Amino acid sequence: MSKDKYADIIDLKPFRSKKHPPMPLADRAAQFSPFAALSGFEEEIKETSRFTQRRRELSDDQKDDLDRKLNYLLEHIKQKPSLTITYFVPDLKKAGGSYTKKTVSLKKIDTYKRLLILSDNTTIVIDDIDDIEIKM
């Protein structure tokens, strides 16, 4: 009985619309392509695997040396000394950050806010400074 159930239509040709042309095979295949069920998951994995560094703790001797250099810069600020500064940049998305080294001249020291303002308008928090090399 199940063989005879479709006997009247088994040999018919597939229906083709006279108004609408058939969809190209490439477009038909795209309908069945996989989709991102977990949108943003791949970006999250990349972010998690991105390397960050821990902030280094300066020794007392390093802190004293840095204080001497900052005082020297305060005394010679009008000469706009050139310096190579290494400082910590906190990461905005996860714990840690990275160390950046920049050679530029000093524009201003804000002792109240504890900031160095460089000639390229970069602002560095004094507590984030790892090392300063002064070039006169």
Count of structural domains within the chain? 1
- 4 falls within a domain: no
Q: What share of the chain is helix, strand, coil (3-state, %, to 5)?
A: 30, 30, 40
Q: Quick one: pLDDT at residue 50? A: 77
Domain carrying residue 111: 21-136
- 30 falls within a domain: yes
pLDDT in tens, 22-34: 888 878 777 776 6
Nearest-CA neighbor of 101 among 60, 136, 129? 129
- 87 falls within a domain: yes
- 8 falls within a domain: no
**Residue segments in the chain with a per-residue pLDDT below the cut of 70:** 1-3, 33-38, 136
